[in-house]
Amino acid sequence: MKAPRVTLDQWRTLQAVVDHGGFAQAAEALHRSQSSVSYTVARMQEQLGVPLLRIDGRKAVLTEAGSVLLRRSRHLVKQASQLEDLAHHMEQGWEAEVRLVVDAAYPSARLVRALAAFMPQSRGCRVRLREEVLSGVEEVMHEGIADLAISSYSIGGYLGAELSAVEFVAVAHPEHSLHRLGRELTFQDLESQLQVVIRDSGRAQPRDVGWLGAEQRWTVGSLGTAATFVSSGLGFAWLPRHMIR
């Protein structure tokens, strides 16, 4: 890749000339001599091979080519400044990226609120979010793929704090035969029906959690798929109350 001939300092100087209305004003803003600013811009035009400014009376005005290049250069200078800020934040202990693994049953609205509150303070830190089911969260943590986890149970070797409770409720389509019984349901009523079960995404030691008493079970890979099956009238499933709502 060919090295750029024009430096960021030169682009900043051109921006100052345009933004402040002339070479003298730019020199004052940059705390440099006017001759230094004039030389910098003249050298830029020589290196690029196109005129960037023309003098209109006592004011420096952008040429058509200069206008296009200046607009692009503003993005370049801004990105360079953000890169330096990121390096400074990393030097202070801020991570360049936070990898978060979350149990799919955790309310997404709460997660969004937390991330929205974090965004203004993030200082350029990227967030990589991954959803898993049951032991899949623990597996990802132990493999070193995530830095933080929101799990439905404690993960060995890591400190944790309780965030909130997530209540699971047995739910079926309004036209499902369970609703036609006209009374409070029992586990015996559920045993004879098709149950849609969400598969544990862990591979090493997958777990069966919750009530699995139905004789006939269909296993799916996500809560969203289970909800689709239920809303189509295909069996019942235990789903988070916030998702049902």
CATH tag for 168-244 (out of 3.40.190.290, 3.20.20.140, 2.120.10.30, 3.40.50.970): 3.40.190.290
Confidence of residue 44 (pLDDT cuts 50, 70, 90): confident
Which of 85-89, 153-157, 210-214 is predicted least confidently? 85-89
Do 8-91 and 168-244 have matching folds? no
Contact 166, 109 (CB under 8 A): no
For 79, the 3-state DSSP assignment is helix
Query: pLDDT at residue 83 above 90?
Result: no
Confidence of residue 10 (pLDDT cuts 50, 70, 90): confident
Query: pLDDT at residue 89 above 60?
Result: no
pLDDT at 213 (0 to 100): 81
C-alpha distances in Å from residue 217, one per residue of 33, 199, 220, 223, 239: 80, 11, 10, 15, 15
Q: Which of 107, 154, 116 is nearest to 135 (CA)?
A: 154
Distance CA 138, CA 153 (A): 9
Whether this prediction's pTM lies above 0.75 is answered by no
Confidence of residue 126 (pLDDT cuts 50, 70, 90): confident
At residue 239, φ and ψ (nearest 5 deg) are -125, 155
pLDDT at 113 (0 to 100): 94
Q: Which of 130, 129, 158 is nearest to 142 (CA)?
A: 158
Domain edges within the chain? 8-91, 97-150, 168-244
pLDDT at 90 (0 to 100): 59
Distance CA 95, CA 87 (A): 10
Residue 199 Cα to chain centre, angstroms: 26
Angle ∠(235,236,239) on CA atoms, nearest 5:
145
Which of 34-48, 86-100, 185-199, 228-242 is predicted least confidently? 86-100
pLDDT at 114 (0 to 100): 92
Confidence of residue 1 (pLDDT cuts 50, 70, 90): low
Distance CA 13, CA 17 (A): 6
Q: Which of 22, 20, 73 is nearest to 48 (CA)?
A: 73
Query: Rg of the chain over CA atoms, in angstroms?
Result: 31
Query: pLDDT at residue 87 above 80?
Result: no
Distance CA 141, CA 138 (A): 5
User: Mean of the per-residue pLDDT values for the chain?
Assistant: 86
> What is the CATH topology of the domain spanning 8-91?
Arc Repressor Mutant, subunit A (1.10.10)
